[in-house]
Amino acid sequence: MSLRLPCTCSVNMADMDPETTAHTEPTVGEEEPLFSNLDLFLFSLIVGLLIYWFMSRKKKANFYVVLQQGKNIIVFYGSQTGTAEEFANRLSKDAQRYGMKGMAADPEEYDMGELSRLSEIQNSLAIFCMATYGEGDPTDNAQDFYDWLQENDDEDLSGLNYTVFSLGNKTYEHYNAMGKYVDKRLEELGAKRIFDLGLGDDDGNLEEDFISWREQFWPAICEHFGVEALGDDSSIRQYELQEHTDINMNKVYTGEIGRLKSFEVQKPPFDSKNPFLAPVTVNRRLNKAGDRHLMHLELDITGSKIRYESGDHVAVFPTNDSMLVNKLGQILGVDLDVVISLNNLDDESNKKHPFPCPTSYRTALTHYLDITHPPRTNVLYELAQYASDPKDQENMRKMASSSPEGKALYQNWVLDASRNILAILEDMPSLKPPIDHLCELLPRLQARYYSIASSSKVHPNSIHICAVVVEYKTKTGRINKGVATNWLKNKLISDNGHKSTVPMYIRKSQFRLPFKSTNPVIMVGPGTGIAPFVGFIQERGWLKEQGKEVGETVMYFGCRHKNEDFIYQEELEEAEKNGVLTQLNVAFSRDQEQKVYVQHHLKKNKEHLWKLIHTDNAHIYICGDAKNMAKDVQLTFCEIAEELGGMTRTQATDYIKKLMTKGRYSQDVWS
């Protein structure tokens, strides 16, 4: 391990008081001391920094405890939105059905340098459920593990049995990059792959991919280790209910993500476990007309010590609609204000509760549990036992199977109809699960990420969000609303004299303006994809004001109608008038009979674009929809390179890929 000390202090002798420096000189006849005052000062500083470094380091658990407990199936997860963690929990729970001891583990909390020690456990297996984030990146909690894999070429993992299930999305350039890397790298370091790499595609049906892989995985593991299934397919509870009838309410969680009372006494640094409550100072509608609601919010971060750069993401923790929560309470016939704890039945587990406890059912369903997404098949399987109608039981178990009929039923009845848990309970009256088991099974409500629509150079104490409110009618005639966008929409500037606040933190991004301000930038961002570019334009304008030379700044924006949803029109036109934007191209897709998109404008300006890219070292940025827009735009740039660069299609594709590798073609996209 190499220790790098931050250089936080330098001493300039010229800046010291002359009398002080004079006293450090030895007088005639005096013996020069072994250490001068300055030496002692610097020594004390280094010791202090060392102590601070060791104290502030996050202490990681070693595998000694795992060895002691004899857990032989360890499922590590790299999870950004909670799905990989959910799959890891399911696999560790499965282990019990095969007479094995399983546990799910966050690699961020363990010293992964001791991974080889797992070979000391008989019939041990490390499973890695690894999601890919952004442009082929590891998730936040798997970053240290990824770095360790990259840096330790001499590590010997022979004796370690492993398998990997990877979570990704085919619409992204680096499909399942993290899972593929972990699978390949572990083999390179000598570990033994016990079962083939599984690839889950969130653009298709991730749940189906996981079930198909899992149903082949367990028989292969049984054969490899010579074990048999116990034949017990009944529900296995992981947590037991404890009701608190007489508890000090100061010890009850009311929505905090990590530390109890952290929302009352805010202490930096702020992160995913300790979000900052940012007051909302602006909440305005961006579009002039139309059915949709596009909004601009500004969050005040004064005094928080939070720093951000243009291109970063702001993560916000939303809360569920109280109407949905109340309806769940009514349909299950429970008092939502009962204070409970769900305690892990495995005393040795490092995960004591599925969410912060003690808390009330109301708080859990409002702040901690995802009640709006269609539930996954494992939830249906475990809840089936509580349906009094045998036909309902049969259908729920069928939907959780990998049979073609079951998959089709789940796709049609749950996914295509966008049925959340409330809709399922309403449409299946015989299903009456105990609320504590439901709370155990539902996944955690996750933070939502938004590209920041401001520059810290211009707005150091405020973070801007641009988003479209999600609301749609399902096949069953219900109105489904996006959790975070509807919650943000209702964040009034002041609510009964109190400022509305948003729990948030910053996620750093690689989506960055070029280091040299003289490099031209080409920005393509239709709809709310304009968000990071609002920050980029502000920053380029600030640089110009500082007297810096700034390269061409070209914007391609798209919306439906000029008079409806041309968002940030005034700001964009002002930037063009001031010369900050050297070119503003706007595609209004539905203002004429023939639809016009950003890629049509790119083709129209191909000569200018090719000069900027090929001759002037321009950086290209794409933000918005990954499935269609980002693909079409990339294809257009390939066509421009092919035509004006005199390349074949393969050469043009490679040319654009090389721009990506060099960091000159960046994407901030979502599906």
CATH no. for residue 81? 3.40.50.360
Is 439 noted as a catalytic residue in this protein? no
Encode pLDDT of 31-69 as tens digits: 455 556 666 666 766 766 655 444 444 457 777 677 777
Average pLDDT, rounded, for the chain: 90
* pLDDT mean over 354-366: 98
Asked if residue 269 has a cis previous peptide bond (ω within 30° of 0), the answer is yes
The better pLDDT of the pair 368, 34 is held by 368
The phi and psi torsions of 407 (rounded to 5 degrees) equal -60, -45
Least confidently predicted of 325-329, 500-504, 626-630: 626-630
Closest CA to 132 of 84, 85, 197, 87: 84
Query: Which residues carry a binding-site annotation?
Result: 79-84, 131-134, 167-176, 202, 292, 448-451, 466-468, 472, 482-485, 528, 589-590, 595-599, 632, 670
Domains held by the chain: number:
2
The answer to the question of residue 391 being in a domain is: no
**160 touches 121 (CB < 8 A):** no
Q: Confirm whether 380 is domain-assigned.
A: no
In a domain, 347, yes or no: no
Answer yes or no: is 112 within a domain: yes
Q: Residue 60's pLDDT is what?
A: 73
Domain end position, chosen among 209, 225, 241: 225
User: What's the average model confidence in pLDDT over 8-20?
Assistant: 35
Residue 36 in domain: no
pLDDT at 176: 96
Structure confidence by residue, pLDDT tens digits, 161-204: 999 999 999 988 889 999 999 999 999 999 999 999 999 999 88
pLDDT for position 134:
79
Residue pointed to by tokens 């810290």:
456
Question: pLDDT band for position 515 (50/70/90)?
Answer: very high
**Which of the following is catalytic: 148, 542, 610, 670?**
670
Select which of 451, 455, 509, 666 is catalytic: 451
pTM over 0.85: yes
Catalytic residue flag (residue 451) = yes
| Residue 556 forms part of a structural domain | yes
- The average pLDDT across 250-260 equals 97
Annotated binding residues for FMN: 79-84, 131-134, 167-176, 202
Among 195, 210, 225, identify where a domain stops.
225
pLDDT of residue 285: 97
Residue positions forming the annotated binding site for FAD: 448-451, 466-468, 472, 482-485, 670
pLDDT of 280 above 90 = yes
- Structure confidence at residue 671 (pLDDT): 77
Cα–Cα nearest to 633, from 583, 562, 579, 585: 585
Average pLDDT over residues 412-422: 97
Is 141 part of any domain?
A: yes
Interacting residues of 155 by C-beta distance below 8 A, sequence separation 6+ = 113, 116, 189
Tell me the pLDDT band of 79, cut-offs 50, 70 and 90: very high
Closest CA to 464 of 298, 613, 659, 582: 298
CATH assignment at residue 542: 3.40.50.80
Residue of 129, 439, 559, 623 marked catalytic = 623
Q: What is the pLDDT of residues 573-605, one digit of tens each?
A: 999 999 999 999 999 999 999 999 999 999 999
Average confidence (pLDDT) over 421-444: 97
Band of pLDDT at residue 127, cut at 50, 70 and 90: very high
Long-range pairs for 327-335: beta carbons < 8 A, 24 or more residues apart = 327/422, 328/365, 328/371, 328/421, 328/422, 328/425, 329/361, 329/362, 329/365, 331/422, 331/425, 331/426, 332/425, 332/432, 332/433, 332/435, 332/438, 334/361, 334/435, 335/361
Of 225, 247, 280, the domain-final residue: 225
- Per the structure, the complete domain to which residue 127 belongs is given by 63-225
Place of tokens 């769940």: 328
- Predicted confidence at residue 232, as pLDDT, reads 59
| Confidence class for position 228, pLDDT limits 50, 70, 90 | confident
pLDDT of 670 > 60? The answer is: yes
Q: Which helix H or strand E contains 168, and what residues bound it?
A: strand 161-168
pLDDT digits (tens, 9 = 90+) for 539-574: 999 999 999 999 999 999 999 999 999 999 999 999
In sequence order, what are the beta bridge partners of 128?
A: 76, 164
pLDDT at 51: 55
- Where does the pLDDT of residue 325 fall: very low under 50, low under 70, confident under 90, or very high at 90 and above? very high
Q: What is the CB-side half-sphere exposure of residue 200 using CA atoms within 13 A?
A: 26
Instruction: Determine, yes or no, domain membership for 154.
Output: yes
Q: What residues form the annotated binding site for NADP(+)? A: 292, 528, 589-590, 595-599, 632
Q: Is 670 a catalytic residue?
A: yes
